[in-house]
A and B are shown apart, each in its own frame.
Chain A
Amino acid sequence: MTVFCLVELESGAVADASLRALTLARGLGPVAAVAFAPPADLPVAELAAYGVSDVYAVAADGYAPRAWAWAIANLVPGWPDAFPEGPAGRRPAVLAAGTDRGNEVLAHLGAIIGLPMAANCVAAAPAPGGGLELVRQRWAGLLLEDAVLDAPVALLTAATDAVAAVPADAPGPVMVHAVKSELSPADLMMRAEEAPAAAGGASLATARVVVGGGRGVGSADGFAPLEELASLLGGVVGVSRVVTSEGWRPHTQQVGQTGTKITPDLYLACGISGAIQHIAGCAGAKHIVAINTDASAPMMARADYAVIGDLHQVLPALIEALRAR
């Protein structure tokens, strides 16, 4: 039975978090992607590479979570009359990335069709006794929950930092279906007016390089070398909660359980101790390099490489060395 997967697009490509969701979806059955964009804007080759066989291109005027959920509900076989019956793993499923949008749209969908929604799954497979065996993140990934979801339609999101994005072995052809959607007044009430954010630039969640600063940075002014290094490496600055509660940096830059989850190739953590709530946000980094005066800081046990020292000395020297190259 078809596995529908909400796909988010970013600069014309499939967002990294959605590639991860497509990978998880593929393990459950043939995948139909649902994208809220005109057919001409779809990265069809990329979708094919991830094993998608059908794409529903829903006409949408901006992000409207309730309207998006209704559009997906209308694609679910049988709904609202009667869900198709079927053995384990043969029932339809709807997946999305465990992003703010993915979790929001699937929660709306769960409320609309009256079924449970499992957020931030790291694994999903047909259960021997029926339904799906799931592994879900709790405490932002500090704990895992083993669960069984046995509903007529499985609704789940894929954790953005724990499922790897892997292209399909044998990509096939893709059929594109254009879908119209109508916005009700209630949907319109929940439609986002979009504008470039004040900070602008690359986003923390998707940056390839994040230069992190914690209490060790010492002040708002102390961030100048971190900013400089980030721009040299084509990355962005991320911070610990101490930094945002001191008011040195805006909360939009916070990495962690109550901030943003990051998945860069490199996280350069400067003056950050590595509290578990911070780790919850950076555990998805491919490589971590720590700069800390304390060789026994917990961050050291999470890092691949470490420099023991004062970031106020190491960073300017590093910037100088990079400029000299």
Chain B
Amino acid sequence: MEILVCVKRVPTVGGAITLTADGQAVDTRMSGFTISPHEECAVEEAVRLVERHGGSVTVVTLGPVAAEEQLRFCLSLGASTAVLVETDGSELSPFVTAAALASVASAGGHDLVLLGNEASDTGDYQVGIRMSYFLSQPVVTGIKALDFAAETSMLTARREYRGVSETFRLPLPAVVTVKEGINLPRYPSLPGRLRAKRAVIERIPVLSTIDRPELLTSPEFRVKGLRVPAAGKRSAVVLGSGVAAVPELVRVLGELGVLP
């Protein structure tokens, strides 16, 4: 099974998010970069599928040259090849992102494309779905369990919604977005890290993946700026210490109307 996993370089967010002075981006001078937990799980799932059924895992990202760091991390987890769709680092719309990634997927003839359910920074919830339309393939999202039956060449994908388990059965090729919890990703192995360090990463300019350069900027959706929401800071009323606080706690729960 040939699997393509799409990942995105995003800032590592620690105790608080700070913005650049112009309010257009997250200030990353003090932080590193990473991929989202959903995507780490997507890489792990791909590596497991290939361990079971054969084939190989390619990892792709759309981003600046610096995103090779994230590709090498994925290689260290077991992906065998990596592709960088190179941009100048500016934010591209979900439409362009999906078009560029789909062009890599169709050139590679992959059986399965895996993504995280949503990018942790922009949270657009649509790149995988838009890719599936470019590729004319079925898509399922937010998947928490994935099985492949080699005999029938069918995927079984599961997720939960409001206490209901939803099962999808689809033939390959297909696009699947996954969520954290589908597996516990492994840590990079030492040989994995050495291999990742030496690996040659293929670079494709983003302009070669989309047919109309004017699509790079979307006149229909324009971001004006970012801001940190006014913190819902409440200063907690301390009800007391240890078990001595229990009567007060019971009184407060009564006041909040949650006692039966």
Q: Does A25 contact B (CB under 8 A)?
A: no
The 0/1 profile, CB within 8 Å of B marked 1, for residues 150-192 of chain A is 1100000100000000000000000000000000001001111
Complex CA distance for A117 and B130, rounded to whole angstroms: 11
Q: Does A63 contact B (CB under 8 A)?
A: yes
**B133 & A301 in contact (Cβ 8 Å cutoff):** no
For this complex, 11 residue pairs linking A to B, each with C-beta atoms less than 8 Å apart, are A104-B142, A107-B129, A110-B130, A111-B129, A115-B220, A139-B120, A148-B221, A197-B163, A234-B260, A251-B181, A289-B249
For the complex with contacts A116-B94, A193-B167, A307-B242, 17 further pairs of A-B residues with Cβ separation under 8 Å are A100-B159, A107-B126, A115-B220, A119-B124, A139-B17, A143-B26, A143-B227, A144-B228, A146-B225, A196-B164, A197-B164, A197-B165, A298-B15, A301-B236, A305-B249, A309-B242, A321-B250
Which of A140, A283, A306 contacts B238, CB < 8 Å? A306
**Which positions in B face A, CB cutoff 8 Å?**
13-17, 19, 26, 36-38, 93-95, 118, 120-126, 129-130, 132-133, 138-142, 144, 159-171, 179-181, 184, 218-229, 232-243, 245-247, 249-250, 252-253, 256-260
Q: What DSSP secondary structure best describes chain A's contact surface?
A: mixed
In the complex, how many angstroms separate the beta carbon of A214 from the nearest chain B beta carbon?
Answer: 16
Which of A26-34, A51-59, A74-82, A257-265 touches B? Answer: A257-265
Q: Which B residue sits closest to A287, measured CB to CB?
A: B256
Complex CA distance for A100 and B126, rounded to whole angstroms: 11
The 0/1 profile, CB within 8 Å of B marked 1, for residues 244-278 of chain A is 11010011101001110000011000000001110
Which of chain A's residues 61-77 have a Cβ closer than 8 Å to chain B?
A: 63, 65
Q: What DSSP secondary structure best describes chain B's contact surface?
A: mixed
Interface centre among A63, A119, A200 (most CB of B within 10 A): A119
**B242 & A310 in contact (Cβ 8 Å cutoff):** yes
**A144 & B229 in contact (Cβ 8 Å cutoff):** yes
Range, interface on chain A: 35 or more
With contact pairs A111-B129, A147-B222 given, residues A276 and B16 touching in the complex (Cβ less than 8 Å): yes
Which of A194, A283, A287, A301 contacts B165, CB < 8 Å? A194
Which of chain A's residues 301-325 have a Cβ closer than 8 Å to chain B?
A: 301-310, 313-314, 317-318, 321-322, 325
Complex CA distance for A306 and B180, rounded to whole angstroms: 30
In the complex, how many angstroms separate the beta carbon of A182 from the nearest chain B beta carbon?
Answer: 18
In the complex, how many angstroms separate the beta carbon of A25 from the nearest chain B beta carbon?
Answer: 19
Which of A42-50, A204-212, A217-225 touches B? Answer: A204-212
Q: Which residues of B contact A275 (CB under 8 A)?
A: 15
Q: Which B residue sits closest to A120, measured CB to CB?
A: B123
Q: Which residues of B contact A116 (CB under 8 A)?
A: 93-95, 218, 220-221
Q: Which residues of B contact A1 (CB under 8 A)?
A: none
In the complex, how many angstroms separate the beta carbon of A158 from the nearest chain B beta carbon?
Answer: 13
**B164 & A195 in contact (Cβ 8 Å cutoff):** yes
Complex CA distance for A190 and B167, rounded to whole angstroms: 10
**B249 & A307 in contact (Cβ 8 Å cutoff):** yes
Q: Which residues of B contact A151 (CB under 8 A)?
A: 220-221
Q: Which residues of A contact B159 (CB under 8 A)?
A: 100
In the complex, how many angstroms separate the beta carbon of B8 from the nearest chain A beta carbon?
Answer: 13
In the complex, how many angstroms separate the beta carbon of B48 from the nearest chain A beta carbon?
Answer: 16
Q: Which residues of A contact B180 (CB under 8 A)?
A: 251, 254, 258-259
**A194 & B166 in contact (Cβ 8 Å cutoff):** yes
Which of B19, B133, B224, B229 contacts A141, CB < 8 Å? B229
Q: Does A40 contact B (CB under 8 A)?
A: no
Q: Which residues of A contact B38 (CB under 8 A)?
A: 258
Q: Which residues of A contact B141 (CB under 8 A)?
A: 65, 100, 104, 107
**B250 & A304 in contact (Cβ 8 Å cutoff):** no
Q: Does A201 contact B (CB under 8 A)?
A: yes
Q: Which residues of A contact B17 (CB under 8 A)?
A: 139, 142-143, 276
Q: Which residues of A contact B124 (CB under 8 A)?
A: 117, 119
In the complex, how many angstroms separate the beta carbon of B56 from the nearest chain A beta carbon?
Answer: 26
With contact pairs A139-B123, A147-B223, A258-B179 given, residues A322 and B163 touching in the complex (Cβ less than 8 Å): no
Q: Which residues of A contact B260 (CB under 8 A)?
A: 232-234
